[in-house]
Structure 1
Amino acid sequence: MASNMPAPETAFKTDPFGDEVVEREWEEWNPTADSVRPVRGRHRVVKQRGGLARSSTVLGVGVIAAVGAGGMATAQDKPAVSISLPDSIADKLPDAKSIPGVGSLMSDDSDTGYGNENTAPLSALTTAVDSGDGAEAEQKAGAGEALRARILAQAEQQQAEADAEAKAAAEKTAAEQAAAEAAKQQSTAEAKAAEEKRKAEEAAEAKAEAERLAKLAASYSLPTSSYTITSTYGESGSMWSSGQHTGLDFAAPTGTPVKAVHSGTVKSAAWSGSYGYRIVLELEDGSEVWYAHLSSMTASAGQKVSTGETIGRVGATGNVTGPHLHLEVHTAGGSGLDPMAWLRDKGLTV
């Protein structure tokens, strides 16, 4: 059998005490029938085209070295490699922990040999996997935190909008209430002002009427004095030919002076049937005042008289039951008026 090329060995070996590394001497290796015989019937040397045959031990060490150097990131996904060598070769191989870049990958408390099929996971690969999972978890956590922050921001914005709407509604309600209160106060003030104005106008009117009556009272006078009202205007009775009393009766002793109630002109002074002696005084506005049942007359027709001037005296002439002055008031058109109301309208107290 032709000899093969010597199997490559590591260039360095570790001192048994691990203090220093010395260069390994190269030795020629010529496989024989005994050396290439399968160990325990499970492994054999595989020939490769090109000349160099390598055992699974060399390949396993290469894989571990490659992983230790960081060149194969997916080694953690591959199953553990079981390694078995002949004693003649195993004695010459360096300890795996002494190989630079490999020993750090092996656990210190691991007592697993090359022939153990249950190889422990490498800490570097675990760290790499953990780093990948951690980065993904961190990325997911960051995305979740961003979503949470966005949700909180939206909630805060919605709350702020709700608060703003509530504030605007409250301000609007307050403004409406203030406007209503202002309108109510204005209405009350206007009503009060209107009432005060009305009262002032009434007071002014009353004052003006009092002044007018005072002037009238100065220009008008009662027809007689020391009298008693015995019959009023409109009374019914058989003693009056018309069935109703047409004037106002002032009972007084015979001879009591009778006066002109206002300035005017004596229209007539003569006997007049049931009226007895009667004087008709025409005023400036055309109205007439009749004085009846006189005992005597001191004024004659056509005479102008002034307010309070004596024009006759109380008597009992005509259709009477006793001495009194019968007074009637007629408009310019001839209609009869209530003498008491007419005198009071002139500011006189009857």
Structure 2
Amino acid sequence: MASNEPALQEPPTTEWVPTAEWGPAAGTEEWNPTEESVRPVRGRHRVVKQRNGLARSSTVLGVGVIAAVGAGGMATAQDKPAVSISLPDTITDNLPDAKSLPGVGSLISGESDEQDGNGNEAPLTALSVADTASAKGGEESATGAGEALRARILQQAEQQQAEADAEAKAAAEKAAAEKAAAEAKAQQTAAEAEAAEAKRLAEEEAARKAEAERLAKLAASYALPTSSYTITSTFGQAGSMWSSGYHTGLDFAAPTGTPAKAVHGGTVKSAGWSGSYGYRIVLELEDGTEIWYCHLSSMTVGVGQTVTTGETIGRVGATGNVTGPHLHLEVHTAGGDGVDPAAWLRDKGLTI
């Protein structure tokens, strides 16, 4: 395959000698630069002095390259492999001595600076060392700054995470406390309701027992007016059979001669005939209540006689305004008002 690179040419074999055509123009004064007219090169560049003419020429060329590329070019050139420069002998033999050039000889150090203490050639300039150290220091500084920034970001992230965890923990603890308080309150409310219900039931039970005891005592002190009976008419029952238009007592239908007993201890207030009631006994109790026994066939007690509970005071009959043998029982308060005998007997603990 063909190459685009130019073919190498052999250097000219004839020696080149400058002629008068290369001198100064006629009528002009020849100008020779001196050390005073040439501005000295400043900086820390140190050119190594070589022994032969080729080394001097390379030194001069190196100074020009350094001045051209600057610090940035040197830093870039350090990363690339060195390139050797060679010139044909015909050119190098005719180059002027580097020391003879004004302003350049002062840049070349003495023999003692040509080599370092180990006999090696010293570096071309100190700029490359300074630039390398500066670049290395910049890289280390940038790396250190990046690590510091990374550490600070991680620290802030950890702090924020810790704060978030603390807030979440506090919220969870608060929610748990509120839940526990609500559960405790609910349990307390349920316990209070249960206690109130238990108290109510206990009070009801106590009242029932007290009422039972009271009725038992009353039952021991009260008795039904007769036995072997059937209730045929109740208090307040309406009908034309009664002159008042309604029944004023409680009828215990029973065979004639069935004993009529005192419902409670008291005194016989009256005993005798009473018109439509037939034979009637009025028993007055201690509280003034009167118990009327009507339609009796006979009476076994007299006025002013004291009787006890369950004592026989007469016999069932059919005297007065009746349709058959029965005991007509009426209850009147101390004020004279008639009340329902069935309710009064039940209040005394008796079952009809």
TM over 0.5: yes
- Find the residue that maps to 1:145 and give its secondary structure: helix
Q: Given the alignment, which residue of 162, 165, 168 partners 2:164?
A: 162
- Name the residue aligned to 1:214: 216
1:46 aligns with 2:15: no
Q: Residue 347 of structure 1: SS of its match in structure 2? A: coil
Alpha-carbon distance, 1:192 to partner: 1.6
What does residue 316 of structure 1 align with? 318
Higher relative contact order (CA 8 A, sep 6+): 2
- C-alpha distance after superposition, 1:200-222 (max 9, x if no partner): 22222211111111111110011
Q: Which amino acid in structure 2 is aligned with residue 100 of structure 1?
A: Q
TM-fit CA distance, 1:128: 2.0
Report the number of matched residues: 282
Contact 1:38 1:44 in 2 (8 A): no
Partner of 2:115: 100
Q: Which runs of 4+ in 1 moved over 6 A?
A: 37-40
One-letter code of the match for 2:270? S
Deviation at 1:41, TM superposition (A): 5.6
Query: Is the contact between residue 332 and residue 339 of structure 2 (CA under 8 Å) also seen in structure 1?
Result: yes
Q: Does 1:191 align with 2:193?
A: yes
Which amino acid in the other structure matches residue 214 of structure 1?
A
Q: Provide the rounded CA distance (Å) in 1 between the counterparts of 2:327 and 2:283.
A: 15
Q: 1:218 to 1:130 in 2, by over 3 A?
A: same
**Contact 1:39–1:86 (8 Å) recurs in 2:** no
Distance 1:160 1:88, change over 3 A: closer
Unaligned runs of 5+ in 2: 1-18, 25-29, 50-63, 70-90, 101-107
- Cα pair distance change 1:136/1:331, threshold 3 Å: same
- Check the 8 A contact 1:275/1:318 in 2, yes or no: yes
Match of 1:204 in 2: 206
Counterpart secondary structure, 1:104: coil
Corresponding position of 1:78: 67
The 1:48–1:149 alpha-carbon spacing in structure 2 relative to 1, beyond 3 Å, is closer
Report the Cα distance in structure 2 between the residues aligned to 1:142 and 1:219, rounded to whole angstroms: 112
AA matched with 1:266:
V
Unmatched tracts of structure 1, length 5 or more: 1-36, 69-74, 107-121
Letter of the 1:262 counterpart: H
Give 2:264's aligned residue.
Answer: 262
Give 1:250's aligned residue. 252
Query: Is 1:282 aligned to 2:287, yes or no?
Result: no
Q: State the shift of 1:133 in Å.
A: 2.5
Instruction: Note the 1:1-350 alignment, pairs <5 A.
Output: 45-47=32-34, 65=46, 78-79=67-68, 87=94, 90=97, 99-100=114-115, 103-106=121-124, 124-350=126-352
Does the CA-based 8 Å contact 1:217-1:347 persist in structure 2? yes
Could you report, residue by residue, the CA deviation over 1:287-331 in whole angstroms, capped at 9, with x for unpaired residues? 111111111111111111110111111111111000100001111
C-alpha distance after superposition, 1:46-69 (max 9, x if no partner):
3457xxx9x99xx89x9854689x
> What percentage of residue pairs aligned between the two structures are identical?
66
Question: Partners of 2:283 and 2:225 in 1: how far apart?
Answer: 12
1:151-195 superposed Cα distances (whole Å, 9 cap, x missing partner): 221221111111111111111111111111111112212222222
